[in-house]
Every structure is written in structure tokens, then in C-alpha cells.
Structure 1
């Protein structure tokens, strides 16, 4: 990426960081103090993050009122069964992902990601389970991170154990489509793909697995797909050995995240939620803060005991 492209990307993220965040009242000093008290008495708190943490980095979510992808377009994420059985859908997905990758992979952590990394380093939280596929927690320096739905930075074969980095696969896609007209992505989606014209998809070539010839897929749990049993077991263990659960930026409408809240409730562990608007877990939460994560979490680092 050239200097001008890098500057354009930075400018785009600066604009998008507010464009994709729903309107809400500013966080109050009491909100911050209350969350601080929650964590101070529970240093073994586990954090569950959703798309609302990454919207402030310029990655839209699906469901937010007025600004989410569902509110702004007819786009719906690809279904796993469709991707698995349809070469045309795989071609469409990879063409869109190819165009959007440079911008998606250039996304940088925001203040909430960095604050969580520091809270972990200071042993003030146990670790993070994230529903996001953008790797922003790892980019920010968090170590104990479990990606509930995988991530977009690895590509896997659906028939064998072949794996390759998404950056390397981008080079492979470029070589296979060396006559492909360069397109600038107008905006990205939560899963990293973009809208492009049908004529840009028709001739797009998607390489098969170099080991077995099978179809390649990002290591993401698509809608309708199943979370690996090993990941489920790991997250359940993390909840059961914690002393509280803090949800950041998630409506909890996807059951894989809500299930962890139900487990915490079953174990009689306290539950705190920071999210703009209602969530599926509000009725079992001990604490609910209706605010931007970026206005509540980073200030925790500066509270004097």
C-alpha cells in the first residue's frame, strides 16, 4: 500500500469510526465509577466482546439501529451451507473479500482494544472471548484471547488440513487474477467483504487447495455453521473459572455469545453489560450501562484508588 493509499485509508477510518456507532447519550462519571467498582472487586472477570467494540475502529456491525448493515442495506452475510455447496457463491464471496481485504486488514485497534490489553497486563481482567473476526484484540496486544467465531486472517481447506495466511492468499488471488481491474472498496462489512458490480465477479478466478484441490474458506464460522467443540469447551471453562462476566458491545442476539451469559447466570456469577441499546441479556444482568465502550472502558485506566 502506497503512502497516498495509506493516508486515504486512515482518513476513511477516522470518518467511519463515528459513522458506524449508534447515537447515544455520553457516558457519565457514575457509569465509569460503577464499572470500575465491578472490576475492582472481581479481578478474575472475563470479558466477552462483540461488534460494538470494533465499530469505533470503522468496522460496521450488522444490527445497530440506523447505522448497522441490516439497517443500511439489503446485504445478508453468506450462509455456510450456500458457501459449501455453490461454486458461484464461493466465487462471489472471494471476489468481494479480495477487493475489501486491503482496507479490512488495515483496520487498527481503538482505545477500547488497547485499554483491555492493558487491563489484562495489569491482571485486572482474566482474558477475552470475542465474537469478532477482525483480530483487533491481538493487534492491540491482548494475549489470552479466544475467537469464538474464528478470524479472517487465516484461510483453510474444507477437505484437508491445509492452512495459509490470508495475506499470502491475497497474493495468490492477485496472481490468478492479474488482469482484474483494480477497484477501491467504498465500504467494508463486518466480515470484510464489500459490494462490487456483478461484472467484476463473473470472470474472477478462485484457486483451489494446492494440497487436495478442495474449496478454500476463511477460518470464520459463517452463519449457519458450527463452532468447533474445542472452542465451546474452552469458553465454558473460561467462564466457569472466572468470578464475573463483562459483555462489551454486543446485543447478544447470536446465541453463541448469549449462551455464555446464561452459563454465568447458572453459576451465579455477576454479569455486567456495556452496550448502546437493549440486549438479550439485560434481564439477567447485575449491571447495565447504555454507552459507547470507548467512553467507559479506557477511563478505567486512569481512576485513582
Structure 2
């Protein structure tokens, strides 16, 4: 790729040592890039990080100019070969452009403006532009094709963030996640209370059942009959007294009852043929009765 000023070939991706150079020298077909360390600016926002501006996570990536020219306290930022501003420890030692060794060209730098125009034109025409293409501007500053592409910010967001979680959508998703967690916690609390209430009811029912069993068992014990009122057996007592009295009279020789006697009936008994004795002759029932009385 050719251009006015200090455009480099697309294949020149290696970064050279920290040797200073002066003026607006032209580099064509060189194998390395010398660096110029310009005075750095202090950041005006303490919330900035190497990759994102304050309150701009997943929505506002820091520009390559701010990455190399604006100091963030406690951080050493580096522009990766793909145009992303990140912390130096995330870049290998042989890649990237650390702010301690390089400065980025301002927008009005003539050499960088020419390179930017050519890269933008090629991109609009559908011509492939290598993301590692770079130019040297006035005073030795650098500009990178990866940093000057129109879709640079969107590409960084896509690479670093989950889709649809940028800007206000990030807050919306965070709110939904927090709400889901709250609902889950409330559901767990209610479920535990319900289980505790059910366990308490079961315990009360079990205690009542045990108490009723104890009462029933106590009522079936023999000792429980001692607390019952005595039975009034008046009829049995009277009969017992009569029996005792009769026994006493019998022991003393008296009689309280009439002995049963046989009475002769005047009715004529029908004659019955009964054989009797050795000769076996007929005997009437009356004669038989007389004979029995004589024997007695």
C-alpha cells in the first residue's frame, strides 16, 4: 500500500526498539518502526480503564489515541496489533504498541490523514485492508489501520462482550438477573415456611394421637375398676340370706319345708297282664302296687 508521507507496507508488522527519531521522515519498505515518546496527558476521569471509558463498559471502547497518549494511574496500556487498547500484561512481549514506547498520531497529522483516507476508501470499496497495516506520522507518531476502520468500536464490543449486553441493555439484563435471584430467594423462603408449618401440624397430630392412646390404655388397666362405685345386688343378697337361714334351720333339726308324699288315687287303673313268679300268673296293677308297699 502506498500513500503520502510515512505509509508502510501492510506486511511490516514488527515493532522496533525505542530509538528516537526527529521530524517527518518518510519510511518506505523498512523492516522496523522506531518510536518517539511524547509527553503524556493525565486522564481527567478516574473511572477510565485501558479498554473502556468510565461507565462505558461494552459500549465505549477507548480510542487508540487516548490509549497511548493519556495516562491512567496504576495501569500501563498497550494497543494490540488488532487495534484494541488493553493492559500491557495481556500482550506478549513481541506484539503490540505500549504507551511507554509509542505515541499515537493526532487527527490533523498529514501523513496519518493520508493513510487513513486510503484505508477508509479501500474498506468502502470492499478491498481487503490488513488490520496490521500502519503508518508513521510526523514526529514519529504511529497510526494503525485497525484503529482507523469505521467498524472498530463495534468489533471490539463484539469481541469482548456478550451480544445484546451493551449500554442500557446491560443494565436491563443485570436488573432481570437480580430480579430472578430475588424471586428465587423468596420462593425458597416461602417453601421452607410451608414445610415448617406442615411439620408442626404433623407433630401436633401425632402428639394428640399418642395422648388418646395413653388415655385408652389407662382405662383398660384393672386398677381403674377400684375407682368405680360398688354394685347394689339387693336381689342376690336377699337370696343369699334365705339360703343361709335355711341351712341354719336344717343344722338345728328343724324343717322349713314339707316333704313330698305319695297319694293314692281313687281312679281304677286299667288291668295289665304281668307275669310274675315261677308259675307266671297274671297280676293287676293294683295288686302289684300292694306287693311293692309290703316289700317296703
The higher relative CO (CA closer than 8 Å, separation ≥ 6) is in 1
Q: TM-score range by the shorter chain?
A: under 0.3
Structure holding more strand per residue: 1
**Greater Rg by CA:** 2
**How high is the TM-score relative to the length of structure 2?**
0.23
